[in-house]
Amino acid sequence: MCLAIPGRIVEIVDEEKGLAKAEVSGVRRTISVGLLDEVRVGDWVLIHVGFAIQKVDEVEARRTLDFLRQLGQAYQDEVRQFAESQIEG
């Protein structure tokens, strides 16, 4: 299964290349934010295969994370895949 999961932007790694560090369930990875306008530290985004595809507000992000955690293994697999992925800057 390949889900879009909410993550919080914790660092802008390379603004010119559109790279930022996002945190999902305690895991931090560099992702591409090039598909979005004006991403800042603290923003919540939906992440799909290493790309931020949409900004979301914090309430929606937390609600979605709560729902995804209820999926159990599918969510854990997605977080594991996120942890193993990395976009190089």
Kindly list the structural domains of the chain, giving each domain's residue range(s) and its CATH number in brackets, ordered by start. 5-84 (2.30.30.140)
C-alpha triplet 12, 77, 30: angle, nearest 5°: 15
Task: Quick: pLDDT tens for 25-77.
Answer: 888 999 999 999 999 999 999 998 889 999 999 999 999 888 878 877 777 77
Q: Residues 36, 40, 41, 47: what is their CA dihedral angle, to the nearest 10 degrees?
A: -10
* Whole-structure pTM value: 0.79
